[in-house]
Every structure is written in C-alpha cells, then in structure tokens.
Structure 1
C-alpha cells in the first residue's frame, strides 16, 4: 500500500484543516484584489485514483481550465487547480467585470487569462504556505502556467512520474463565493501530486507509515 493510500480519516481531516487555513488566507488576498468580500471553503479532501480524477472533471475529452504549478523545496511535486470553462468564465466576470468573456472559443481575452492565472497563483500559494507551516517542510510554488485543453492532455503530463509510485492523488475541493454577488459559488478542485520521493517526507509528518 502506498503512502497516499495509507491516509486515514484523521490525516484527511488534518489536510482539510490545512486547506481551510489556506483558503482563509487566499480569501483575504482575493478580497483585497477585488475590493469586496470573498469567502472560501474546503468542503472535502479525498484520495482518488487517476480514473476517478478524470471522471471528476468530466472525462479525458472534456475541456478544462487548469492552472499548473510545480512545487519546489524539500517536498517537490505537481499541483493543478482545475475549473470547468463555465466556472472559469464566472470567476473572470466577477474579478474583472468583463461580462462578455468567453473561454469556449479562441482567441481569449488576455486580461481574463491573466486574472485566471493570478487566481491560481493566490490559491496555490496560500494553500502551500499553510501546508508547509503545518508539516514544517519548505514547499514553494513555481510561476503558474495556465492551460485550456482537454483534461487528458493536461493532467497526464503531471501524472506520469507519480504513477510509478501510486495510482492515487489528493483532491482538495474549493468553493469561492463573492458575498455581495447573487452568482452561485465557483467550484474548483486542487489536485495535489507529490513526487515519489516526497511521499515519505509529507506523510510521515502526518503520522503515516508505509
């Protein structure tokens, strides 16, 4: 059994709490950026296999918007923040007021794409900072890369190295809600994929042994 499959409910609850701390920090940053109150929640943290991960985003042929970051430091790995095109458009409209922004047909507005990239940067940076503080291991995000493509094409690249160790990844659900807006909360997913050598460093700190 791999480290990631060894996570019990207590460790998952700890990761959820880390997610809530990170989302609180991210909400503060987004509120400052948007000049209005933003609330964020992490309703669930799950361990899923790669097939379930693909199903979660609608299958490998589904168009998704992804902000990819390489995790640098003592426990390197990959992180994706994934949104559906509709959720991505909703966020850009909230953030920029560009009501005609669309992600379904290129060319895409550069301001809208920059807004999505900045959101991913804020969210990932806040989450990794909270996780790093919690497990006392240095983890820093790289410059975020925005991709708009089929889920299979985007996610496979980040799964190749991990699949040598495990067929599972950690999914952190994220809800973003503009308090003053009547829009539905924006729902996204973090996919946390530590490199094989990072598993013992992270999960031993969570009290997991192989």
Structure 2
C-alpha cells in the first residue's frame, strides 16, 4: 500500500515529537559542551508542515538566513535543512569565539567555519536521535552552508519535490544561555518511502 504522509495521525505525530525532544536535548548538550556554557532548551515545537509554507515560517522568502543543508543516506534518504536567523547565528559564533555578543560584522572565514561546525553538531544530534529511536542506519553527508534569502536556500531541496511529498517534519527548538535566546529551525525532508520506513521502525505502522 502506498503511504501518504497526509494520513499521519496523532500517534504518528507523537512519535515524531519524541524524535524532536530527544534530538533537541542532544543538541542542547552538544552545544553546551562546544560553547563551554550551560545551555537550556524549551520543549521543541514539532509539526508536519507543507513545504510551500517553509519560507513563511522563516519570516518570508526574502529574509536573509543562515542555512545548513545536508543529505542523508543509508536506510532512509532525503535532506536535512537547519536554519538560523542571522542574529542567532551571530550570538552562537560570538559565544564560541569569545567575541562581544553584540558584534554583528559580516561573517569572516573563521566564523563561517565555526557556523559549519555548529550546524554539523546540531544536525548530528537530531540524526543520532532518529537513528537511536528507529535502529536505522542513517548516514549524513558533509553539510553545505549558505547565507542567503530563505527562498533561495529552500529552493535546493525543493527541486527534488517533484518525486517526493509536499510535507516536511519541522522541529523548532529554542536554546537558552543566560538571557540569550537562540531559535533553530530543523526540517527533515525524507522521501515518501523513507517516512514509511521510519514509522515502521518506530512501530507505528504495521
């Protein structure tokens, strides 16, 4: 039977939320270790959204954001997109490099490299949660980083949407360090077959 992501019910969503909770917890722990600071997190918001709405979620197609895009291979296939607003990216990089938090100069090569590492660690945290809960072998590619308009960044995985679904798993996570708040938007964009494989591995499909 062909699986339609629009048929996901509340039980499926609850299981996907668990992936979000564990992934965000892993990410907060990894971020704290990387920054050498205590990092807390709010309970992540997890939902299935239509791909066409992603730009609006990020503040509009012309909003300049930092995007980290990677592919996943192994038992499931698809894309992962992790988005940080520019201000949030500056805060994280400034913390990591010991710069004044209010510094908002254009990112230099060292800061771009730091952003890639932050993105790598955060996306790896979600992949680890997904792999741990499903028992599936999930291999990430080397991440690509872009600082561009949201519409341009999401057009990369959008090209593949002729042959896969129109919906993505969206996890919004708010990290807190003292009075600083950083929101990261995580989008899991597996192909339709991979959604079914994931849900079967989690025991919610027969």
SS of alignment partner, residue 161 of structure 1: helix
The residue aligned with 1:31 is: 32
| 60-69 or 36-45: bigger deviation | 36-45
The residue aligned with 1:102 is: 104
The residue aligned with 2:147 is: 148
SS of alignment partner, residue 156 of structure 2: helix
Report Cα offsets for 1:138-197 as digits up to 9, x if no partner: 11221111110111111111122234232111101111111xx322x2011101100243
The residue aligned with 2:194 is: 198
Contact 1:2 1:166 in 2 (8 A): no
TM-score w.r.t. the length of structure 2 is: 0.89
The residue aligned with 2:131 is: 132
Moved over 4 A (4+): none
Structure 1 residues not aligned, in runs of 5+: none
CA distance in 1, matches of 2:42, 2:5: 23
TM-score w.r.t. the length of structure 1 is: 0.87
Contact 1:6 1:208 in 2 (8 A): no
Matches within 5 A, 1:86-97: 86-97=87-98
Cα RMSD, aligned residues only: 2.0
The residue aligned with 2:173 is: 174
Structure 2 residues not aligned, in runs of 5+: none
- Aligned CA distance change for structure 1 residues 198 and 162 (closer, same or farther; 3 Å): farther
CA distance in 2, matches of 1:130, 1:58: 28
